[in-house]
Amino acid sequence: MIKNKLNEIVSHKTKLLVLILAILSLSACEKTESETSANDSASTEKVEQITSESSNLIAEANKQSAKAKEVGFEWSTTQKLIDQAQQAEEAGDTKLASELANKAIKESKNSLAQAKYADEHWQDHTIN
């Protein structure tokens, strides 16, 4: 009889130990899921921020290109760069999109500088 009681106590303690381990395992998984969720949302915010930055650069490139076109000095390669930047962004390559948009912005600013120079120095290039 004592042996049976002893076996019963050990059995209850074993069940209790298994239950405690199960609870601890579940709480560890729960923390991991919440940490993963927090990491996912932070990662999503970062991607959205990067995409927003490349979108802003592409918008600026379009704006500068329009200014150059308005004065008649848009370079033939600028719109191609803008189109490539948009395609890169749509493909998810925001780094390339930003680089191409920055190149397009530089080209547009250089073409505006060229237009200003031409306007200021046209008389230097006339036949006397």
pLDDT at 67 over 70: yes
pLDDT score, position 2? 64
How much is the average pLDDT of 50-63?
A: 89
Domain ranges of the chain: 46-121
Contact 107, 85 (CB under 8 A): no
pLDDT beyond 70 at 110: yes
Provide the residue type at 112 as one letter.
L
pLDDT at 122 over 60: yes
Q: Quick check: 97 and 58 in contact, CB under 8 A? A: yes
- The pLDDT tens digits for 11-33 are 666 766 565 766 766 666 554 55
